[in-house]
Structure 1
């Protein structure tokens, strides 16, 4: 039987217990994502879910908590320069990375220290 992967349903990031407010401030307030309702059966676990377009980030509670420093999601962005200006305005630090040929990309960290890659592919010549 053959099969294939078509898309990513969601990305799970971890956060310390009781940090849902900070997650909402960052993912909704800074990254302009929309919070989506968690299924009733999962609400008791804490955390929060966010969406933008076809991208979902599920922030789950992990105890003991340890942020992902190397492992990370990478999101394709339209108008990375505009996003960099927006992040600067909100005092969100980012690291520019020019090591991937054909891509403009930066790395940021969520309020819990998880690494997130944001990239925009350069048009082909």
Structure 2
């Protein structure tokens, strides 16, 4: 089986801050970093904020999010189904994530404990 993973771009980066500093982080990324806040889908059970940063998004969440960290980088791919099959074929455990309208997505961990997300925009 040939590797079907074809990456289009980095879609977003998710960083985390302590819950009591979430508003401070929001103001820092608006006032100091000059980012534009955007609407965050109402599908998550934890607070957070989304911003646009060049052609990617910055997502700010809180830790801890049990049992897995919310910190990750998300990559847009051209074929999410083929990507899923390839990773499963290679013994990678996949995790389903909350549904975000217009995005098919899942996460997994590399062998070194780094959480990664793959997604494809769908109509």
TM-score normalised by L of structure 2: 0.46
| Greater percentage in strand | 2
Higher RCO structure, 1 or 2 (CA under 8 Å, sep 6+):
2
